[in-house]
Structure 1
Amino acid sequence: MTLIFVLSSFHIQPQVIEELPFKDKLVHTIEFALLGGLCVHAARRTWPRHATFRTALLGVFLATAFGVTDELHQSFVPGRSAELLDIGADALGASLGALVTTVWGWRRRARE
């Protein structure tokens, strides 16, 4: 979370974004997939008796909520702006990360 916050504090040169269309959405999706997966893993380790769906949903919620606050933060950074599509990419990434982490956990437990 700290890394995402720090990186979102920097001004990005417009020509970098123009050269690679939708690169920023891909970056948002990847970083929030990692964050979503980590949130699910943390929730599962913290509350091991809760249902898998509940911990996955909590992980997606926490990562997406952080994405919303990150976009709010970016709206105050000179040269940056908040975008609803970025929040959508964050939510998509968090969901994918939660899905991968959950399936990986199921497969790991099935082998045991």
Structure 2
Amino acid sequence: MNIYLIGAFLWSLLILVLTLTPGESVPDVGLFDYDKLGHAFIFFVLSFLSINGIYRHPRYNAKVNKAVIIGVLFSAFYGFTIELIQSVIPGRSMEAMDAIANIIGAILGLSLFYLMNKLRT
């Protein structure tokens, strides 16, 4: 695995563990007081890491547009799928607004990628 994709993989794994843990087992750390902003931020980061990892991976030799499409679609699909799976986890539930926040965060992640690329050039 390329070093640039390791961040995306580890972040995805952290999201999976935290979101699929039964509700009563999740500590209330108060990290995000605004739930939907928290969802958007988590998938914003995932999207950025995914796009950047795909774009910089030498095997894929991806153009910017291809990396953006794959990274955003992966992140949005991942966020939506996790919400679906939560409907069968004890103490968790699927919330449409959480899924929408996840998808918005995934879309916004490309703005950071474009900003970082613009600053690099």
> Structures share a fold, TM > 0.5?
yes
1:64 maps to 2:82:
no
TM-score, reference length from structure 1: 0.79
Q: Give the whole-Å Cα distance in 2 for the aligned partners of 1:33 and 1:100.
A: 9
- 1:42-100, CA deviations, whole angstroms, 9 ceiling, x for partnerless residues? 110123342x1221121110001111121122111112111221111111111111211
3-state secondary structure, aligned to 2:92? coil
Q: Which stretch of structure 1 is more off in the superposition, 71-80 or 35-44? A: 71-80
Percent identity for Structure 1 against Structure 2: 32
In the alignment, which residue of structure 2 is the partner of 1:48? 61
1:107 paired with 2:96, answer no
Native 8 Å contact 2:45 2:109 kept in 1: yes
Listed as ranges, the gaps of 5+ residues in structure 1 are 17-21
Q: Which has the larger radius of gyration?
A: 1
Aligned to 2:16: 5
Alignment check: 8 A CA contact 1:56 1:99 kept: no
Matched residues in 1 for 2:62 and 2:52: separation? 13
TM-score by length of 2: 0.74
User: Partner of 1:35 in structure 2?
Assistant: 46
Q: Deviations over 1:1-27 (max 9, x none)?
A: 1111111123169xx7xxxxx822111
